[in-house]
Amino acid sequence: MRAMILTQVLPYPPDSGPKVKTWNVIKYLSKKHDLTLVSFTRGDQSKEIECLKQVCARVEAVSIRRTILHESMALVRSFLNGQPWMMTRDDRATMRHLVDRLANENRFDVAHADQMNMAQYAQRVKTARKLMDAHNALWQLYRRLASTLGRGPRRWMLERDWKLMKRYEGNVCRQFDMVTVVSEEDRLALSEAMGGILNATIIPITVDVDEFPVIERQPNANHILSIGTMYWPPNIEGMLWFLKEVFPLIQEKIPDVQFDIVGARPPAEIQAYDGMNEGVHVHGYVSDPLPIITQAGVMVVPLHAASGMRVKILNAMSQALPIVTTTIGCEGIDVEHDRHLRIADTPEQFSNDVIDLLKSPDKARQLGWAGRELIEKEYDYRIACRPLDDLYSGITPSKIDRV
């Protein structure tokens, strides 16, 4: 099959959740299909494009730069046309022209929109069957995020946008021939957006177990670790909750405990903890986190607003790291509390689980290995991506059953 895959970010290197998901899908599909990757880029990504050309037949890119002026104009357009601001923000004439030119020059069998932002471009490939690859249910994500904020302009904007996004996502799911979701929770959320039952194909986010082998940690590993992009609002909110509500409880029981926060572009309010608290180390982006990971007695994922699946949890489980997270943090992953990881939603529960794993290395090791076994059986990309074979061949379930 000849397919055009449209991505909002260049999926290489796979150093963030969305990029890991897309990179593994592309690796799987490239073994059987002729792929043209069309992506937005930020700055000079020529080296990354050359790497992608090793697996894709063709790579085309459009540079995108978000400025306050452009985002403000997108907001005005959103008020005028009633479309979600997050979609109008990524509506670029240069991308429309590129997609139109490629569609006129080639006959594509599949137009594969990776994330909802790219659906507007896949719809322009008239001759192709349309596949919507939803990383999450955006409307649900932003509704949850809005609920964590106090009253003010930011919450008002998120409230407005999630309602528009719900309608937008429902329309896209009706219009596309095929829809994939990463979890049953997301399928239900998109069904609600449609006002019907979406018979989407569930293909979880995957990892390459060869790229994320088990990490041998130091025998006395006693640090707490967090890894994740620190400019993403849900990560910021969850980290501030942990620093304010949970970490002090842990320090009361383990005074010399150390907490390593790894992730690009942490905001000032999180960086401030690096100076205020002797046990907190805000590292920012780290090209090779291995030395930090080997010191980790437990990894924490304190999320309260999310949708889809957390790649950082899949990666950590692949590396046999013991994890404590929230119910929302591990949503969409087939895990059991106290078998594959620990699940806690209150400061007291969360701190107690972290303390228990730090003080009980054997429990932590057992938890980590159970997580690794789960990844090998269910979440390696060579296994989990197999349903794409039927979708690309045109074998699809009935898309919508009306309620």
- 113-157 pLDDT tens trace: 999 999 999 999 998 999 999 999 999 988 988 888 888 888 999
Q: Quick one: which of 310, 312, 359 has its CA closest to 330?
A: 310
CB 12 within 8 A of CB 42: no
Q: Is the pLDDT confidence value at 14 over 60?
A: yes
For residue 201, the model assigns a pLDDT of 96
Binned at pLDDT 50, 70 and 90, residue 403 comes out as very low
Query: Rounded to an integer, what distance in angstroms lies between the CA atom of residue 24 and that of residue 369?
Result: 23
- More confident of the two residues 232 and 38: 38
What average pLDDT does the segment 21-40 reach? 97
Query: Rounded to an integer, what distance in angstroms lies between the CA atom of residue 360 and that of residue 267?
Result: 33
Q: What is the mean pLDDT of the chain?
A: 93
What average pLDDT does the segment 7-26 reach? 93
Q: What's the pLDDT tens digit per position in 55-113?
A: 999 999 999 988 889 899 999 999 999 999 989 999 999 999 999 999 999 999 999 99
For residue 275, the model assigns a pLDDT of 80
pTM for the predicted model, two decimal places? 0.83
For residue 242, the model assigns a pLDDT of 98
Query: Rounded to an integer, what distance in angstroms lies between the CA atom of residue 301 and that of residue 225?
Result: 9
